[in-house]
């Protein structure tokens, strides 16, 4: 095998690798939420949860929807729910119907509330009223 052939083989191999990388990059927008691609699955899918995260930057953008995660949060009626403020600002957790109201949760701290109401309870932050989410309080037997 002369050096010309080796160069040719190396070039073909390099092109094949580049092609694979390009195909992978092109597929990312098609499967952005697939964990098999190494991306985190979005946290706002419906699941049973008694901990709700206020993520970093939760109030930064008035159009953003990931203010409290998960959203909706499905909980057992009468259970204790913890809100964990991972942001750098104070936030409140205030039910629109007044059934619960955590006045202030400071950064890097948690507060809890017992969910007494049944069904979908919308809540918000009084400081940043565009921060909104839903708790689904279900009766389970």
Q: Which one of 125, 133, 135, 137 is in contact with Cu ion (CB under 5 A)? A: 125
127 binds Cu ion (CB under 5 A): yes
Shortest distance (Å) from residue 52 CB to Cu ion: 13
Per-residue x/- marks for Cu ion, 40-79, CB under 5 A?
A: -------------------x--------------------
Residue 1 C-alpha from the chain's centroid: 56
Q: Which two tokens stand for residue 49?
A: 């949860």
- Owner of token pair 């932050």: 125
Give yes or no for a contact between 51 and 70, defined as CB atoms under 8 angstroms apart. no
> Do you find a cis peptide bond into 72, omega within 30 degrees of 0?
yes
Strands 51-54 and 80-85, by their bridges, are parallel
Q: Which one of 71, 75, 91, 115 is in contact with Cu ion (CB under 5 A)? A: 91
Shortest distance (Å) from residue 128 CB to Cu ion: 4
């Amino acid at each position: 095998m002369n050096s010309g052939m080796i160069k040719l083989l190396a070039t073909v191999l390099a092109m094949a690798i580049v092609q694979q990388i390009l195909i992978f990059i092109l597929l990312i927008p098609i499967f952005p939420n697939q964990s098999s691609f190494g991306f985190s699955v979005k946290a706002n899918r419906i699941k049973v949860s008694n901990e709700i995260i206020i993520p970093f930057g939760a109030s930064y953008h008035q159009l953003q929807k990931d203010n409290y995660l998960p959203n909706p949060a499905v909980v057992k009626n009468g259970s204790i729910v913890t809100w964990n403020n991972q942001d750098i600002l104070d936030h409140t957790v205030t039910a629109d119907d007044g059934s619960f109201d955590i006045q202030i949760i400071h950064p890097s701290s948690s507060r809890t509330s017992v969910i007494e109401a049944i069904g979908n309870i919308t809540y918000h932050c009084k400081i940043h009223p565009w921060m909104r989410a839903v708790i689904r309080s279900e009766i389970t037997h």
